[in-house]
Amino acid sequence: MAAYDLIVIGGGLVGGAIAWGAARLGASVALLDEGDVAHRAARGNFGLVWVQTKGAGMPPYAHWTRRSAELWPELQHAMTERTGVDVALRQPGGLMFCLSDEELESRAEQARRMHNESGGIGTRVLDRAEVRALVPMVGDRVVGATFCPLDGHANPLKLLRALHHALAGAGGAYLPNRTVTAITPQAPGFVVQAGGERLTGAKLVIAAGLGSRDLAPMVGLAMPVSPLRGQIVVTERLRPFLDHATHVIRQTEEGGVMMGDSHEEVGFDNGTLVPVLRDIAARNLAVFPHLRDASVVRVWGALRVMTPDGHPIYQQSERHPGAFAATCHSGVTLAGAHALALAPAILAGALPESLAPFSAARFHVQPA
């Protein structure tokens, strides 16, 4: 029976970042990945490193997101240096385009409120002329935008590949096609059953996305996650016209244009619907009219991993210390923090006080 310092269940962006972050510090790590039978969120991730709207009403989330964005260049450098994979990080700032004065004022008010709650992240309001100076191809219906210099984007599939390769390069074990069926706490550590295979770990992280709901109770944790579908439209490769990140459209490093984002509560259905795709295209054509001549090459639906309030869960089990929960719907945005801040804390055996607000206990407040 193989023994490890840390077993991470879930080979997506969250689990991969934590596993590599621990292995790079010298820990023996096993990363269990269910494989492509899982509802892998990374396959449909939009690829944003997004700060400007994260944490409205929850300052700890805003601070955590900002920290991750600041750590991202270090993560990118490590991935390139250790694997040769360019994860295509670009952080020229992000834009939220507004198509009416009312929409622009609403966005400006949200930015002011977040500044008062969480401190400045440099978000500012741009008028039509300022937007056009940054992105000349915007259409006449764009009245303005908000801009945050910390925002950016990356290639989620290249990031996932790089994390797996970097883990192996650091001596970790990437174990694909393992479906975990049982976790048994023992003194000390945990025994994990994956098919006919058993592994032991001194510490354990459950980062299995939508599968975490069923696994977490085995170690005294709660991870109330549910699926939220998002659909994406992708065009043929076009000449570069958009370097900045935006919340609904981005141009990849290869030139293709990705357009989103829908929010649909449809259970585990990751299909696509023409009316939703039509609405996505219509808004983005209002922002960039020249896209009417672009050919659509593919569309897809993917499932986000959502908690009841949309914020991450990070928690150590009180009943079985050494077992940790980690989940979020922002696997790209938070990859820097997961690899370079969360993983070291897990190895040390205690989460920092700054992550206490992310405990799942927030969903179980007793009535007065």
Residue 89 lies in a domain: no
- Calculate mean pLDDT across residues 118-143: 95
Residue 368 lies in a domain: no
Same-domain check for residues 191 and 238: no
Residue 37 banded pLDDT, cuts 50, 70, 90: low
Residue 20: predicted pLDDT: 98
Same-domain check for residues 166 and 70: yes
Range of the domain at 268: 226-306
Number of domains present in the structure of the chain:
3
- Calculate mean pLDDT across residues 17-35: 96
Same-domain check for residues 209 and 167: yes
Amino acid identity of 334? L
Look at residue 38 and tell me whether its pLDDT is greater than 50.
yes
Same-domain check for residues 285 and 345: no
Look at residue 200 and tell me whether its pLDDT is greater than 50.
yes
Residue 29 banded pLDDT, cuts 50, 70, 90: very high
Same-domain check for residues 340 and 193: yes
Look at residue 368 and tell me whether its pLDDT is greater than 50.
no
Residue 39: predicted pLDDT: 66
- Calculate mean pLDDT across residues 147-165: 97
Mark which of 149, 181, 196 sits at the end of a domain.
Answer: 149
Per-residue pLDDT tens over the stretch 118-130: 888 899 999 999 9
Look at residue 332 and tell me whether its pLDDT is greater than 60.
yes
Summary mean pLDDT of the chain = 95
Residue 44: predicted pLDDT: 76
Same-domain check for residues 356 and 234: no
- Calculate mean pLDDT across residues 284-296: 97
Same-domain check for residues 336 and 197: yes
* 242/244 Cα distance (integer angstroms): 6
Same-domain check for residues 240 and 250: yes
Same-domain check for residues 234 and 109: no
Same-domain check for residues 211 and 233: no
The predicted model scores a pTM of 0.96
Residue 117 lies in a domain: yes
